[in-house]
Amino acid sequence: MSQNEPKIEKRPFVILLIFFLILAVFFYFFPEKLNSTLKNSWDSLSQFLLILPAVVLLIGILSVTITLDTVKKNFGTGTGFEGAMKALFFGSVFSVGPFYLSFPIAKNLLDKGARIATVVIFVCAWNGIGLIAEILELHFLGWQFMITRFLLTSIFIVITGYVTESLVKKIKM
């Protein structure tokens, strides 16, 4: 293999192989579950494939329009608690799609210099707070419940972001 040829990482294939081995063992012991599992898997895959083009387009737009300087200024290492609050705000306001849409956006933010804490806060806010969910929560469960859950969830999301960043830094050392 020459130096110009890209290396193919083997880890994803090993994980996929282990997954299929576990599935084979599962279906060996529970063959009656095979048809419903395949149907549910196909339903999930087809839903994902319908959303995938929009995800790719959105990531492309974000990677071109949001500059490195903008990310560092708002979500970088020097932003402190203000950066955490911005990540909480943007994660909850822009959570208009499925949870897995937040991951490529998070990767893009990390690649452009966002600190780990703000990216974790962004992803957690996207998946745990969401403006649309808050409106529905207000309608069905009342303002006391909505405010209490919003505050507690926000506090724990911020704590999770900083703890995760601390752990990742220790692991990298």
pLDDT for the residue 150: 94
Tokens of 78: 């020097």
Amino acid letter, 68: L
Tokens (6 digits) for 4: 């110009």
Q: What three-state secondary structure class fits 124?
A: helix
pLDDT at res. 6: 67
Which residue bears the tokens 């799609």?
97
**Regions of the chain with pLDDT less than 50:** none
Please name the helix (run of DSSP H) or strand (run of DSSP E) that holds residue 39, with its range, or none.
Answer: helix 34-65
Closest CA to 92 of 146, 128, 135, 142: 128
| Distant-in-sequence, close-in-space partners of 78: CB < 8 Å, separation ≥ 6 | 72
Q: Are 84 and 161 in contact (CB under 8 A)?
A: yes
> How much is the pLDDT for 173?
65
Whole-angstrom Cα distance, residue 156 to residue 162?
A: 10
pTM: 0.72
**Angstrom distances, CA of residue 28 to CA of 17, 31, 35, 108:** 16, 6, 13, 41
